[in-house]
Copies of this chain bind each other. A is one copy, B any other.
Amino acid sequence: MPRPPKGVTIADVAAQAGVSLSTVSRALNGNPTVDPALAERVREAAASLDYRASPLARSLVLGRTQTIAVVVPDLGNPTFQQVLRGLSRAAAADDYHVLVADSGESVDEERLLAVETRRRTDGIVLCAPRMPQDELERLVGGVRPVVLVNREAGPGVPSVRADYRSALADELAHLHGLGHRSIVYLAGIERSIANAARLEAIEQFRAEHPDVRVAELAGGVDFDAGAAAAPAVLASGATAVLAFNDLVAMGLQSAVQAAGCRVPDDLSIVGFDDIPFARHTTPALTTAAVPAAELGAQAWQQLRRLLDADEPGDPLVLAPTLTVRGSSGPAPA
């Protein structure tokens, strides 16, 4: 059972072409100080041997791996799946590879994986929504170049994020415009940055609209959490619900419908993220479209800039767009 032909090295090519190792290296790297005739001979030899320089050896001597790492809390989460997709394609377009690590929602793992994967790569994209701010700031120092997704850590640390605050404000305005005066917010994880941003928007809305009741209910981040919240939502007497994300909204919608509640006639529901299936529920989900894949692509651009020029770009803030579909409608009389 012969393994693939024992790695043909640069020495084999040199022998075949009748030149020295250095000449092969130069020729293959397009160094102009090589006699064109020789260069051609080297290329032919390399082609005939199907030679390609070992990425490992190159990495060691060049000090770069042409690879970046991305750490996500959960590869099962549609948002991070899209971030990864956008990042992967953007990096590939620039001939970079992507090492992916799933921290399983554990902050400890996040830290460990970040430093570990960073050592095998040229830079890292970090998605760490739950990591405490002080811990995050301590961590970024040790893993530069680094780009943060949906987090910030002071100047010099590039980041890309969606503006959750303004997006939730848009949703509140949407519901208010439809006549809703009693609204429930299904909160996500307490310590989550994303949750905090949403709460800010709610605070401001309350201040500007004293006539509207916005109640908070403990929620969660997945479909089941949304479904579990259904009884409490129905009991609250609210006419509209802001769910922490689309998964929660879909779980809620499914559960209240099963209980005989009509959406949006009896209850309006709005989600967050615009995951691919949001438009496919019945009714389709009104939501704030977070451009997750674009976030990933932009994260790569930020990282690339760091890699190429070593100068951090400005933090990038992408505004989600309110996407009105069938799950929200006028408040019941």
Contacts and interface: CB of A to CB of B under 8 A. Distances in A.
B100 A84 contact: yes
A82 interface: yes
Interface in A1-37: 1, 3-4
Given A57-B60, A144-B4, A280-B251, A85 B89 contact: no
Nearest to A65: B56
Contacts of A276: 76, 223
Interface string A272-315: 00001100111000000000000000000000000000100000
Contact of A280 (B76, B141, B250): B250
**Contact-size category for A:** 35 or more
State the oligomeric state as a number of copies.
2
Contact of A156 (B1, B55, B57): B1
A67 B97 CA distance: 12
Interface in A77-104: 81-82, 84-85, 88-89, 92, 97-102, 104
Given A76-B82, A254-B280, A282-B257, A100 B120 contact: no
A142 interface: yes
Given A99-B97, A223-B280, A280-B251, A104 B120 contact: no
10 contacts: A55-B119, A55-B120, A56-B120, A76-B82, A88-B100, A92-B102, A98-B100, A99-B99, A223-B280, A282-B282
